[in-house]
Structure 1
Amino acid sequence: MLTAHTGGTHVQKEAAAFLSHSLEYARRITDLPLLVRMDAGNDALENLNVFCLSEEVDFIIKRNLRRESPEEWLKIARKDGMCYEEREGKRVYLGSMEWTDKKLERPIRVVYQVIERIVEADGQILLVPKIEVQVFFTTLRCPPWQVIKLFRDHAISEQFHSEPKTDLNLERLLSGKFATNDLVLCTGLVAYNLLGAIGQISIQEPDAPLRKTESMVSDIPAYLRDVVGIKCCEPMFPFKLCTWEALFELHVITRKWNRL
């Protein structure tokens, strides 16, 4: 799903409804277990309740500590967490606890990682310890280190945010009207998905070159963009890809490119 807001809109606006609709669409696609990972800007209680009411969806949401003291979390970690020394002068504490609120439908597990540094990696001794705290809301019951690792994998999906902007020159939308930019963006995403589908089809052809699939598919959108002649100064360029002639041309070019 895609939703667009003006630049000054907070990320949390209408987020709960968006999550509910997204989960409904996801369930139409697959019956496999779902894991939702979200950054600290989406740790609102209304978002947590969306997942609390859905028993078939797990989540990991990074918590915004706001004004919470890192020193207080260090005390909790020292008391209840598991500690290991990653190197001299660097201690890492891992642990979990149950957290509840009167506005929550049910208690939620909290996983935390507290890092205490008294010596930097270059050997510099610190007069005051440096404390780093990461806290996550989750429904997963796996060990804390595994929850943290799963959340870090969330960064891998960030590359998908940039691909439509780079491969289709959608870095900046030129219109001053929100509705126009919204239309161009949605059409551009359709074009991007078509390019990906063409790439997937072409690599299954018998004359496909023997090279890594990931590399070939990632090169196709940029290559087609250059060959077709799409320019960022043409605000309506995504519509070029919406005609059967253009789609046929793209398929032919892809087949020729595979023979190179």
Structure 2
Amino acid sequence: MRPFIVKQLDYDLTPVAGLALVGHHLKRLAPVFRHIDTALRVVGGVANSDILRSYVGLLVQGKSDFDAIENFRGDAFFKQALGIKLLPSSPTLRQRMDARAGDLFDFMPPLIETLLAGARPDYGVLPCGWVALDVDTFAMDNGGTAKDGVGRTYAGVDGYCPLAAYLGSHGFCLELALRPGVQHSASETQFNFERVIPMAQRLSAAGPKAPILARLDSGFDSAALMRVIESYNHAGQPQVDWLIKWNPRTTHVVALAERLDADAATLWEHPRAGKRVTVWEESLSIEGIERPLRRVLRLTERTIDAKGQLLIEPKLTLDGWSTSLEARQFDAKAVIALYADHGTHEQFHSEFKTDLDLERLPSGKFDTNYLVCELAALAMNILRLMGQAGLHGPNAPVRHAAKRRRIKTVMQELIYRAGRLIEHGRRVILGLGANDRAASAFERLHWQLAGTGG
């Protein structure tokens, strides 16, 4: 083996050539960025739009630390790829986000909606014809810190409990709203719905033209929230249905099991020895909602556990799901299966925390971390669009077949590409290596985005 000789070359190289593709998506957001700079004018300094572009450029690489921007000071490619006029220093990036976070909140939903409306991606419509709107909270462990809003979460760790809303089964995020760790799931959720549900309706009307199915867990089991969701059903807008896990609260499960066992009309299924299940429906009446509603219930009795161990007393499990879906289209088992599919969104939470490095948020200020989360939703959507367009097809990098690529995979295959920056004849060329297996997919995606005005 001949030893390597390491030396610094006299021409520019970049390890993140994929930022050129990110820049195409940011061009779609130019009208919103101009609005930001007009509303929040800066004299003689870094524009607020450049602050946002710079931080998105870090997030799509899986970097959330403000100090990471120092690695790109003097990097012509980073600025040109993302359309940045003046690159901020680390202190400027941190201080501006601290100072302007509250003012920038209102611009985050338009950035996300403009991106998705312009791209019109495949959101992933359910087989039943509805497009899912999965809303949930999850825990971010920020223990051992004195950050604003850190508290004991439902998961038993000190941190935050942001609320995320994903449109479609492919995980496009409409909102990642930071919340204090102690905040209950249903608290103030109606304010999130004010932004998320109309946005989902507009995007669905422009794209799949499908009704929307809001799916939420038992933490959102509230008649008030059901009325809020129902209030968005207006003529000319996609219909919004909902499927919410029921919270049994004070239900006496043993007494209910005895009543069902004594009823000859109860139908029991026996999926294995020592386990029986019955499913039934009840009508549901909620003041302020006129259309028929129902609750699907399932009681499971186990006398032998999954390992074959006999139980001294039967173990009873009661589950329920409240829904506005019509019984003639969705029987009880279909409703249960639709809610089981809701669990897919847990993968999207994981991508925020690991792939985008947001488990521990970078600032001590709550508003700044809130802005970081909203920008992370924008960055996730950009990476989703890149993966959907660039990692499928005959010339895509070799990977196992999949309908959706994980964010980390998109970074590995499209962001982390070595490139040489060449200026020749008033042109700027981004050269990829002769042995780069992703070069053809990269080039195809570049011209596709350039041709659509991205």
TM-score greater than 0.5 by the shorter chain: yes
Between Structure 1 and Structure 2, whose CA radius of gyration is higher? 2
* Structure 2: distance between partners of 1:14 and 1:153: 26
**Structural RMSD (CA):** 3.1
* Structure 2: distance between partners of 1:252 and 1:25: 38
**What SS does the corresponding residue of 2:317 show, helix, strand or coil?**
strand
Q: Which has the higher contact order (CA 8 A, sep 6+)?
A: 2
Q: CA deviation at 1:223?
A: 5.8
* Structure 2: distance between partners of 1:48 and 1:215: 32
**What SS does the corresponding residue of 1:82 show, helix, strand or coil?**
coil
Structure 2 counterpart of 1:162: 350
Q: CA deviation at 1:127?
A: 2.5
Are the equivalent residues in 2 in contact too, given 1:167–1:222 (CA < 8 A)?
no
* Structure 2: distance between partners of 1:177 and 1:124: 52
1:146 aligns with 2:329: no
Letter in 1 for 2:371: L
**What SS does the corresponding residue of 1:67 show, helix, strand or coil?**
coil
Structure 2 counterpart of 1:123: 308
Cα deviation code 1:1-29 (max 9, x no counterpart): 32222222222122123224322111111
CA 199–90 in structure 1, closer or farther in 2 if over 3 Å, else same? closer
Are the equivalent residues in 2 in contact too, given 1:77–1:94 (CA < 8 A)?
no
Are the equivalent residues in 2 in contact too, given 1:40–1:61 (CA < 8 A)?
yes
TM-score by length of structure 2 reads 0.47
Match of 1:89 among 270, 274, 282: 274
More helix by share: 1
Q: CA deviation at 1:104?
A: 4.7
**What SS does the corresponding residue of 2:186 show, helix, strand or coil?**
coil
Structure 1 counterpart of 2:372: 184
CA 77–170 in structure 1, closer or farther in 2 if over 3 Å, else same? same
Q: CA deviation at 1:152?
A: 0.5
Q: CA deviation at 1:91?
A: 0.9
* Structure 1: distance between partners of 2:186 and 2:322: 17
* Structure 2: distance between partners of 1:60 and 1:49: 13
Structure 2 counterpart of 1:221: 411
Match of 1:258 among 438, 448, 451: 438
Q: CA deviation at 1:164?
A: 2.2
Q: CA deviation at 1:65?
A: 1.2
CA 25–216 in structure 1, closer or farther in 2 if over 3 Å, else same? closer
**What SS does the corresponding residue of 2:402 show, helix, strand or coil?**
helix
Unaligned runs of 5+ in 2: 1-173, 419-428, 441-454
* Structure 2: distance between partners of 1:215 and 1:137: 30
Structure 2 counterpart of 1:109: 294
In the TM superposition, 1:1-260 aligns within 5 A as: 1-2=174-175, 3-30=177-204, 31-53=209-231, 54=233, 56-75=239-258, 77-78=260-261, 79=263, 81-101=266-286, 103-106=287-290, 108-140=293-325, 141=327, 142-203=330-391, 207-212=395-400, 214=402, 217-218=405-406, 219-222=409-412, 256=436, 258-259=438-439
Q: CA deviation at 1:113?
A: 0.6
- Matched positions, count: 238
Cα deviation code 1:104-156 (max 9, x no counterpart): 53452010010011222333322311100101101221221111111010001
Higher mean C-alpha deviation, range 129-138 or range 178-187: 178-187
Letter in 1 for 2:178: A
* Structure 2: distance between partners of 1:213 and 1:252: 25
TM-score by length of structure 1 reads 0.78
Are the equivalent residues in 2 in contact too, given 1:58–1:139 (CA < 8 A)?
yes
Counting aligned pairs with the same residue, the percent is 31
Are the equivalent residues in 2 in contact too, given 1:192–1:221 (CA < 8 A)?
no
Unaligned runs of 5+ in 1: 229-247
* Structure 2: distance between partners of 1:89 and 1:26: 44
Are the equivalent residues in 1 in contact too, given 2:241–2:324 (CA < 8 A)?
yes
Q: CA deviation at 1:204?
A: 6.3
Q: CA deviation at 1:42?
A: 0.1
